[in-house]
A and B are shown apart, each in its own frame.
Chain A
Amino acid sequence: MSDILVYAETAGSAIHPVTFELLGKAGELAERLGLKVSSAVLGYNISDEAPELIYHGADKVYVYDDERLRDLNVISYKNVLVRLAREIKPEIFLLGATPWGRSLAPRIAAALDTGLTADCIDLQISEDGRLIQVRPAFTGNILAYIETTSKPIMATIRYRVMKKPPRDPDRRGEIIARKPEGIDEEWVRCLGKISEKRVSLADAEVIVAGGRGLKRKEDLRLLEELAGLLCGVIGVSRPLVEEGWISKDHQVGFSGNVVKPKLYIACGISGSPQHLAGMRDSNMIIAINNDPSAPIFRYADYGVVADLYDAIPKLIHSLTEAMSREGRSSRRA
């Protein structure tokens, strides 16, 4: 029986959570298409992680645990995965649409001479059993439905759009340790990680985002206070990063982070297509803007036409009051 192959991304020693989401989706597709789910994990000291892939849906895990795979070397990783794909000939090959996944996948696709669909947000099966890949294009303005005519069908899938399957430690599968071949020590050398991401917007449940409606860098504190209250993090539109007010980790949008929090509060952000591309799929969007014609209002569940310098302090006040009332009443209960 042939496979759906899921690349298990590791950064350091931990498996990137997008992998589990992919395994969940792969399991669903495999059942409908009569396939099995395989996964490949590459890195150093990662063998202990392999059972997790089985608990989340893999039937077979190929483990390449080698010191020479400690760093993310695109040529080595490509060589190993291309060899595996040539050997097991998967029908479908999925990778996370993380920056690393989006750098690695196209090399593999070109080597295998197959089609690759970037940054998918959905995978569907047509009535006649073909895989349909859905992805945004034109800076997020359209959704394209794509079919691949070659094998394997390759796609990178956005983080947090597929559901993570429940972990089932009773699930059984096969773990196959492999020696990597095709290690490159000549063309690319990773000289180390030079800085860590300071925030992970993609993982945030609540994002309070500020744009050019803010007058000074110091005013970001206002948003920090609101974010703190909601256990959220700060996001920004691109101009604030360009001004040097905050690091790029916080940027939401086409050339920043794509996010899907439970709540996105956009303060003083107009709603350019490039910003919307990063947040339009948030579960709930609230916009605060003093211009009633700002495009962001068309994408918001709730729009507040107000000066943010007036509205946000009031909102903080109102939330604080309500929360302390909550606290009192829940103590009583």
Chain B
Amino acid sequence: MGQEFRIIVLIKQVPDIEKVRFDVDTGRVDRSSAPGETNPFDLHALEAGLQIKERFGGSITIISMGPRQAESSLKDALARGADRAILLTDPRLAGADTIATAKALAATIKKLGRFDLILCGEKTVDGDTGQVGPEVAELLEIPHAAYVCEIREVTRESIKVVSDMGDKYLYELKLPALLTVTRELNSPRLPTLKGLLRAKRAEIEIWTADNLLEYASIDQLGFQGSKTRVTKVIIPGVEHRKGIILRGDDAVKKISEVILREVLRR
């Protein structure tokens, strides 16, 4: 068998969404209120990569763009079995929307050279867009499949996957290709003790915008390269709910009246 199978996994560190504080009055999201964790969907992307590597050999490179503290997510990925980790971190990359993010990630991938498969999460829990993966695929001019819930077959030339778009479709993609994966795809393994020790010693490679200039100009990146602007954020309250709490014997009767009145009669 010729060259090694090269897998790239795109990972983002996100705030633990259960702990973030949202200020209803000011519309502020206080990211510092929550510890960072790896975007849950991305762990499934990594697991898919690890399983393919187990079968084919090869290597897994993790790429993440974010602030310096995202290093902990990269260490965690190494502890789970990834081989190499690159953190893109630079104030000039900050404030990127999906297209500017995709350009930075695509430039990084181009710089790394040959690859066979790129794995992403279905979406992030903070951005919620699911756009970065397909955008990276377009920029690299490779096919992609989104919402992958099953990987049926992998060869050196192609991959067969099931895409869950409500109805499920079987697709065959020529490699190199990109997949965005759902949480149904697999159950992510935990780091092993050996992995943790290895990760502790391992270096996270830190790249800045300067590393990307061969493949992207500075005005395509970060806030400057973004084509969308968030002009306002509101934290939707729940005021429009009646908030009537019922207990005891009468509760069911009342609810049944409400249901009949509001829903069945219209």
Is B202 among interface residues, defined by CB-CB distance under 8 A? no
Of chain B, the residue at the smallest CB distance from A100 is: B165
Is B197 among interface residues, defined by CB-CB distance under 8 A? no
The reply to whether B252 and A311 form a contact with Cβ atoms under 8 Å apart is yes
**A255 vs B180: C-alpha distance when bound (angstroms):** 13
Of chain B, the residue at the smallest CB distance from A277 is: B128
Of chain A, the residue at the smallest CB distance from B254 is: A302
Within 8 A of A (CB), among B84-138: 97-99, 102, 122, 125-135, 137-138
Interface SS, A side: mixed
Is A165 among interface residues, defined by CB-CB distance under 8 A? no
The reply to whether A139 and B128 form a contact with Cβ atoms under 8 Å apart is yes
The reply to whether A286 and B99 form a contact with Cβ atoms under 8 Å apart is no
Is A142 among interface residues, defined by CB-CB distance under 8 A? yes
**A132 vs B236: C-alpha distance when bound (angstroms):** 17
Q: For chain A, which range describes its interface: under 10, 10 to 19, 20 to 34, or 35 or more residues? A: 35 or more
Shortest beta-carbon distance from A56 to chain B in Å: 22
The reply to whether B227 and A303 form a contact with Cβ atoms under 8 Å apart is no
Is A125 among interface residues, defined by CB-CB distance under 8 A? no
Shortest beta-carbon distance from A254 to chain B in Å: 7
Shortest beta-carbon distance from B107 to chain A in Å: 13
A-B contacts, CB under 8 A, total: 263
Interface stretch of the complex, out of A27-35, A58-66, A182-190, A212-220: A182-190
Within 8 A of B (CB), among A283-308: 284-286, 292, 297-306
**A103 vs B128: C-alpha distance when bound (angstroms):** 13
Within 8 A of A (CB), among B149-191: 160, 162-174, 177, 180, 182-184
The reply to whether A255 and B20 form a contact with Cβ atoms under 8 Å apart is no
Is B139 among interface residues, defined by CB-CB distance under 8 A? yes
**A113 vs B226: C-alpha distance when bound (angstroms):** 10
| The one of B128, B242, B246, B263 that contacts A304, using a Cβ cutoff of 8 Å | B246
Q: A11-B167, A298-B238 are in contact. Are A115 and B260 (CB under 8 A)?
A: no
Q: A188-B171, A194-B169 are in contact. Are A143 and B233 (CB under 8 A)?
A: yes
Beyond contacts A103-B144, A113-B227: 9 other A-B pairs, Cβ-Cβ < 8 A, are A99-B147, A103-B145, A115-B228, A140-B128, A146-B230, A149-B226, A187-B173, A187-B177, A191-B172
